[in-house]
Amino acid sequence: MIFILISGIGLALGGGFANGFGHIGVLKVFEEEGIPIDVIGGTSMGAILGGLYACGFSPEEMESIAGDVDWDKLFEKSPPPITIFEKKTFTQGMAEYTLSFSGIKPILPWGVNNGFRIENLFTSVYLPFSLNPQLNFDSLFIPFFCNAVDLLSGKEFIFHNGELVSAIRSSMSVPAAFTPYRTKDCIFADGGVLDDCPAESVSSYRRPVIAVIILTQPLDTIKNPVDAITQSGILYNNRVKIDAVKQADLVVPIYYPALTSMEFKRFREFIERGEDAARRYMPLVDSLLKAWGVERVNKVAVEEKRREFRKHVRYPVLRNLYFENTGINPVVLARWVGFKSGDIITPSVLESTYNSLYKSGAFEGVRLKPLRYFRDSVDITLHFFNKPAGFLKWGILLDTWSPGLLTVSYGVRNSGSVYTGIVFGGSYGDINSLYTRFSFEEVFKRGFSLSAGIQWSERLIPGIGRYVVFMSDARASFASGDMFMEGFVEKQFNRRVLSMGLEVRNYRGNVPICENGRDVGVHLEMDILGRSVYSYHLAKGHVLVMHGMWKRFFMQFGGYFYVSQGNVPPEKREFLGDIDRYLLFPVRSVYFTRYTTINTKLSFLVLNTSALDYSLKIALSLSLSTCFTPSERLPVKVVPLIEVYPGYLRFGFTEKGLYFSLGKKFM
């Protein structure tokens, strides 16, 4: 064991979501001032940051870790698999939503975020402490503990031994925000449920105790009843937090504006607030140290002890790897995992493994568990949390220029070595349809899929009326990274049409407004039945769409093309009124055999906030579009827009009046 062999203070760090980054600022000032710390106790965010400091990370290293984290990716749900059996061509540009089922019983989430990606981050950051029992609570650079609440017994639980990652994951499981951490006998929730800052527990280890708590800055003015209610809530919550740390010898509060606790990207600003608070209270800290006879320490000496401690901390070597709770062939998984027997397990290797496993979309979560320890190696188990087999998917699309569309589908899938599924669904509105589809998909590594389906649809075609299609199709796809390629053959029963096609595009799921990236896609199709009433060739797609974000300003530039030859069936034709990808022209029922559209969109993000899996973005945009046809070039259209995500809500002001759409993806 290697401790700082001095008589110092006990430090209690409270919870506070992103505002808790202020603890780093406090630790930074305490180190600069030579405040000796003998023990750290933390709750929620205080447990996360206190654990890092106890493991020998300096405040500067902790700030660097926060800067390296992709906060958007950390809180997003695992992406859905590119499931061909769910594919409905007419909903490709439509936002749809999913509810999981177990048979016919809906599965409600325990929290907004399941917490697996955060747990995976802890496992990587806390290496090798998370995989080595000789480097745990009682043998850290500074002794450490954290608290959580067992929801079954209703009692506070103090973690002072066992696995470090599971303890910290339990301590930050805010009810409704994160899924509780389950063990065989307990269901753990955030320690703040009963004790937001464990000052009393720290006092049993060491005195004097300094408690650092996160409070909300009261409003400066009260202008209306809403302000009065808000101020009352702020004052009450602050008082509760202050009363909870009466056992502390000194309380250092850090005040933050209301509604900033989810702004994780503002961590540097929050750290600075912690520094300012610590410096303001330093005279009181000095008085406390003198009263208790605690001597300051030299920062250089602390750094030297930290370096000496880190010399004995080594990444473990994998001895054996086991897989748990999955029907996937272990040989396939072993190829997919980024390490094998004899390899040194490092944070980068773990991160690569997690990314590969989540990319399949087959798992809700992955948990790494040490199984057996040896002198320099470890046996590890990867425990998989599979996605529920059943799902209900629905979507609503409303548009000023169309009757709207409602889609509903129910499917059952499994996640064995071969990902299979069957889905039934239909739509009503602009397209009335019924369909069923069955597929086999090898989603691992190469993402190869085969599917077949039957579909009846009735669609309103501009200038033609209702057009009914009863068809079957077979599709094969290949997915690699973000690129997606699909070949298909379609047979219409009510018309003598047999066609084949190929589609290549990148797959990004539901992309919010104002995001960096590129979109490409090409769709080729032709008639392969010479005696068909229709004989045609068709090509269309996005040439290249580029997105760029600079602070609050966003620019998008792209083009779309449509080229056809021969007698194209009405349901395959595209009219100018159908184009809402990059421009908003008035409805025109004129059919052109070829055209090209070019669009530039400039946006200013007036609101960009996020909370766990969810984000809210509002942008003021200006769309400039033009279209080239064989006979004319349409004039440039300038359309001011208001765009809101999520919900894909869009208002546009065109020459024909107000344009409105809901549920149509921002491509």
List residues with catalytic annotation. 44, 190
Residue 75 — left, alpha, or beta (φ > 0 → left; ψ -120 to 50 → alpha)?
Answer: alpha
**Strand, coil or helix: 200:** helix
Query: CA separation (Å) from 296 to 9, 33, 37, 357, 454?
Result: 10, 8, 10, 48, 77
Report the candidate in 95, 161, 85 with the shortest Cα–Cα distance to residue 486: 85
**Strand, coil or helix: 79:** coil
Query: CA separation (Å) from 56 to 175, 376, 399?
Result: 30, 21, 57
Measure the CA–CA gap between 415 and 358, rounded to whole angstroms. Answer: 13
Q: What is the enclosing helix (H) or strand (E) of 229? A: helix 225-243
Measure the CA–CA gap between 277 and 29, rounded to whole angstroms. Answer: 10
Measure the CA–CA gap between 77 and 117, rounded to whole angstroms. Answer: 9
Q: What is the enclosing helix (H) or strand (E) of 238? A: helix 225-243
Helices within 293-373 (DSSP H only)? 299-311, 330-336, 347-359
Cβ(230)–Cβ(224) under 8 Å? Answer: no
Quickly list DSSP for 575-633: BGGG--SS--PPP---B-SEEEEEEEEEEEEEEEEEETTEEEEEEEEEEEEEEE-SS-E
Structure tokens at 372: 């057996």
**Strand, coil or helix: 42:** strand
- Identify the DSSP state of 294: P
